[in-house]
Structure 1
Amino acid sequence: MEGDLKQRGETIVLRLVLEHTTIHHRAADRVSYASTAPELSDDRRYDFFSRVVPPDSFQAQAMVDIVKAMGWNYVSTLASEGSYGEKGVDAFMQLSRESVHPLFGWKCMVDCPRDVRDSRWKCMVDCPRDVRDSRWKCMVDCPRDVRDSRWKCMVDCPRDVRDSRWKCMVDCPRDVRDSRWKCMVDCPRDVRDSRWKCMVDCPRDVRDSRWKCMVDCPRDVRDSRWKCMVDCPRDVRDSRWKCMVDCPRDVRDSRWKCMVDCPRDVRDSRWKCMVDCPRDVRDSRWKCMVDCPRDVRDSRWKCMVDCPRDVRDSRWKCMVDCPRDVRDSRWKCMVDCPRDVRDSRWKCMVDCPRDVRDSRWKCMVDCPRDVRDSRWKCMVDCPRDVRDSRWK
């Protein structure tokens, strides 16, 4: 079969497959000048087939070898929109992940598809090539339709984006893009609401670490979720607990602070383990107080002394007058909060429609009633089809 350079590779592969039955028994040689599909390398099916260009898998492996030889650890990829151009990049990313030299980066499309609703990135037409794996705000040319992006897209990123997962600064160091900490030029030491305390002398290579980065923090605890102390056992890298000098070494998968006298069996507990913490609050997601009711094991909120005992699965602060049936509500429970908004993920207002139980956004008076599973702020004129969108 004669190849055609103007024809797409998928068409050539399809023609080869369709003609395989009629040509194979004649033992006729076939030569292609543009086919790069890896499946055409199967000698059991295409034993009389040859081509003049290597398959995508070979090209991807060559790219990985070049990256490893150069010692790069961050590579930007660029592909044309469509499955044909993306397959080569997918093969390259897969081989890089399987190699001992993993790469970081997301595919940046030339013409960013508008339906990248599950993308972790704000897709920009001129996406900066080196911010592809960053969890930071996308500025300036950020398209407004990136509904599933995890960041607020501002035209000029305001400095007071307090509800943002990251504080986006104009002079934010570019190398902390994948860091889960507030990025500031001179990271204030009082960022108490930050998930990580960013120190001025924080080693730059702990960018993906979930721990407090100290000056002498062991460099290999990069994936650890707790404070890294100087004498922190090095093997608690995946531990969700504070590693103390005498911290039991077996609490590696525990989600709470490990105290010296912390009961050893609270390894999967999501709360602070106090000396007198009831031992049965192992799966509780809230602070365990001395007088905390023992049955709030699965509660996701602070357990108060007078906290109703039946708000075990509530994800909000339990108030004294909080309706007792808002057990699965993900928002603050108000005194006049409708009792049926138990699974609502947003603040419940007095006039909040009662059927927005699974809505993840603020419920307004005129909020469309059908945006129950919407992850967006529901406005008066909110398009009804943004029900599964995660952004404004």
Structure 2
Amino acid sequence: MLATLWLASLSLPMLWAQKLINCPYKNVCHYALLSGNDVILQCNHPKALWYFSSSMEDKLSLLNSMSNVKILPRSNLQLTNPQPSQTGLYRCLDDHKTRVVEYEIDFQDIALLHVTHKDLGQTPMGNETMDLGGEVVVFTRWDPWQDCNRCEKPGERKRLGYCYVEEQLGKSMPCWLYMREKVTHKRLRPELQLQACQVPCDTITETNQPYFVFDTHQLDKTNDHVWLSCPLASIYSYKADWFFLGMDMEEKHIVFSGIPNIKENPEGGLFIQNPSFFNTGLYQCRGWNGTQVTGYKIDFQDASKLHITHTGLNQKPLKNETLNMGHGEIVFTKWEPWQKCSNCETLGERKRLGFCYVKEPLEEPIPCGLYLGEEEELFPRVRPEMQVEACYELCQRNGIGVDFVIFDSFRIQEQTEYAWLTCPLASIYR
């Protein structure tokens, strides 16, 4: 499925919901957090330097090699999408190499999150005695319940729980800060608990709540899944709802819509799995009082209608065409740049994708599905394109650093006895 994305109301600055971590001056603080969720570590000292030591090693090094780390004003440290491998010691030193503040942080793997719903009779994990170089008790330390995700109507609230270890003397520590090595056990994991709730609206809070537009999106090009993010929602706080307005012009609340391939994830984002052209429409993230936080207009153009041409075979792309709907509409193809050649130092092919757009005179072009809705079926010209051409280029010898992973699922279509084997580095986008 091919996706073109429009963004609604790109008029305000971007802000992402990040967790701000602080610690008293010259102290050492221990925290358990979830991987994959942005955090900021406070230092609040001009010209300070940050050092890091992994929990698996004792070597302290200047923090300048992590691609997802950024030094903010006042030397605060931003970690974007932190991973379990970044569990360890973060030390902020002043220009005299004196400690300003120090954090030991356990980024617990969100992929292991144990989720339960209190109103479905599901219970969290119990305490468990284990031998981790000595007898200890593994337990969950719970954060307070977060706010209800809506007001004046039934909603849900959640609380996070982190894996902790308690020694016989009563001292406790986040699991992977205690173990200092990789240990696998079903009890060693963080938790998320959900509970039904219904609360009155807080008018003052609603009126003063700032709203921002989040003007980027992430498309997983290995499998065509789509992630939509809402800037006021994260695993640590949830203050927003998702709504969908499709081609049938009927607005649906995502949670209660029953759309089988759309899910809200624990971080408050939206996950669209294997989208089809039926998923074309407006996706809105709204605050409690109904004010739009951000919106995504997405046209999932039907790959089964893809018009494919090859320049070496003298095949031509589709021509522009007038729709004759009364407004001088022209349907045309908006082309993406050519992709890389499929081979090097031998003959190969490269391709480029083209998406269907409609333009009225003096107006900005709009993706066909968003402009025409269900009427797009009436126009044969309304379809995406792919163009292929022969290519030859030299191999790059500097090493790209591509990692190869095992792709552990497959699909068998029993009716035809076909089998699909998928390569995770290959898709129609690359």
TM-score, structure 1 length as denominator?
A: 0.22
More strand, by proportion: 2
Work out which structure has the larger RCO, using CA pairs closer than 8 Å and 6 or more positions apart in sequence.
2
Please say which structure displays the higher CA radius of gyration: 1
